[in-house]
Chains A and B, each alone.
Chain A
Amino acid sequence: MRATISHDRSRIAFVTNEDGKSRVYLLDTKSREYRRVESIPTGLAFGVKFSPDDRRLGMTLNLALASAVHYSDKLTAAVDIVGISNFVTFLENTQDYRRELRRAEYGDERDPAMRSHLQKISPLNNVDKISVPLFVVQGENDPRVPVTEAMQMVEALREEGHTVRYINALNEGHGYRKKDNRDTYQQAMILFFQEHLIGSD
């Protein structure tokens, strides 16, 4: 959601697009004055939602894993849905029909300089910077972001001593479409949010 009102109706949170980079603002519904939420880094949020007690903001964002690498100090928990963990293995393993298009988007992994840059910024190689609880969601038959991206991330996090929640539907692709899978995944995500966002203080 790009804009949302708090449960007590006193504030509206909204996300702007400023030259392609998002910023989050809070607007006071009485005074109609607004200010930027400085604690949320530019470009991080895609949508916002108030917590039930209106004291926190939940965010939807792209690149949850990269966000967990860079903003573990600001985030409480993160859900990674069909995320890329290593740009090089992603480019090598995504389906052939889309590889060239993704090279245009992320960089050409065959170029040694680009390859080393992609390895440097990949969440898989920065697991030590992640300190938030993670929930990884994946479909086994995903032609876009292959299941290996999730598997290697979960494994790396576990080797670092993290407990990772991982849900993998063997009969789904890039996102869940079957009702029983969607229902269970939503239940598990709500439970995760209840434990980490609502019950954490």
Chain B
Amino acid sequence: MISWRYLLRNNSCRRPPQRPKQRGSRKAAIDRRPLGRPPTAVLMTLVLLFPMLVSADVDRRTLHDGTLVVEDIPEIPIEVVVDLMRYQNIRAAGFRAWTPDGNGIYVSTGFGDVDSLHRVDMPGGARNHQP
């Protein structure tokens, strides 16, 4: 996470980046805030709008529920998505280590969105997720 103090300390940077911390989550907090406290809300909105105003010519979008920020990247043509799918729609399991008794192995393989550790007890055996 990046803090303002962190940016201010960054004094040898030629052009210090200007951006509030965790913009997405602050925005969400404001959306939930009940009406009737305009000064703070207005101030916060201006703070939030500021980076957008100074870079109005940048095409900024977010993907994956706001977690991936893309700037000046065109919409991906469906042909590219389909062409790549044969390389992306795959599963791999990498050997990590033998189990302490030497009768099984640990592999890392996709589980949900990220790779995680699994134990396999026999050849062709099921993978057991290691919490």
| Chain A residues at the B interface, C-beta cutoff of 8 Å | 86, 88-89, 92-93, 115, 119, 124-125, 140-141, 146-148, 151-152, 154-156, 158-159, 163-171, 177-184, 186-188, 190-191, 194
Of B31-39, B98-106, B109-117, B119-127, the one touching chain A: B109-117
The B65-90 residues at the A interface (CB cut-off 8 A) are: 66-74, 76-77, 80-81, 83-84, 87-88
A-B contact count (CB 8 A): 116
Contact A165 B71 (CB under 8 A): yes
Given A184-B63, A184-B68, answer yes or no on A152-B6 (Cβ-Cβ < 8 Å): no
Contact B72 A166 (CB under 8 A): yes
Query: Which of B10, B24, B110 is close to A170, meaning CB atoms less than 8 Å apart?
Result: B24
Q: Give the residues in chain A near B80, CB-CB below 8 Å.
A: 187, 190-191, 194
Q: Min CB distance, A186 to chain B, in Å?
A: 6
Q: Give the residues in chain B near A183, CB-CB below 8 Å.
A: 84, 88
When C-beta atoms are compared, the residue in chain B nearest to A149 turns out to be B13
Q: Give the residues in chain A near B110, CB-CB below 8 Å.
A: 179
- Most interface-central of B73, B80, B115 (chain A CB within 10 A): B73
Given A167-B73, A179-B114, answer yes or no on A148-B9 (Cβ-Cβ < 8 Å): no
Taken together as a complex, chains A and B put the C-alpha atoms of A119 and B88 apart, in Å, by 40
Q: Min CB distance, B119 to chain A, in Å?
A: 21
Q: Min CB distance, A93 to chain B, in Å?
A: 6
Taken together as a complex, chains A and B put the C-alpha atoms of A155 and B54 apart, in Å, by 11
Query: Which of B13, B64, B68 is close to A86, meaning CB atoms less than 8 Å apart?
Result: B13
Taken together as a complex, chains A and B put the C-alpha atoms of A171 and B88 apart, in Å, by 20
Query: Which of B13, B55, B67, B76 is close to A148, meaning CB atoms less than 8 Å apart?
Result: B13
Query: Which of A148, A152, A167 is close to B68, meaning CB atoms less than 8 Å apart?
Result: A167
Contact A187 B66 (CB under 8 A): no
Taken together as a complex, chains A and B put the C-alpha atoms of A183 and B69 apart, in Å, by 14
Q: Min CB distance, B42 to chain A, in Å?
A: 26
Contact A186 B84 (CB under 8 A): yes
B12 at the interface (CB under 8 A from A): yes
Contact B15 A191 (CB under 8 A): no
B53 at the interface (CB under 8 A from A): no
Query: Which of B14, B66, B73 is close to A188, meaning CB atoms less than 8 Å apart?
Result: B73
When C-beta atoms are compared, the residue in chain A nearest to B68 turns out to be A169
Taken together as a complex, chains A and B put the C-alpha atoms of A146 and B84 apart, in Å, by 30
B2 at the interface (CB under 8 A from A): yes
B16 at the interface (CB under 8 A from A): yes
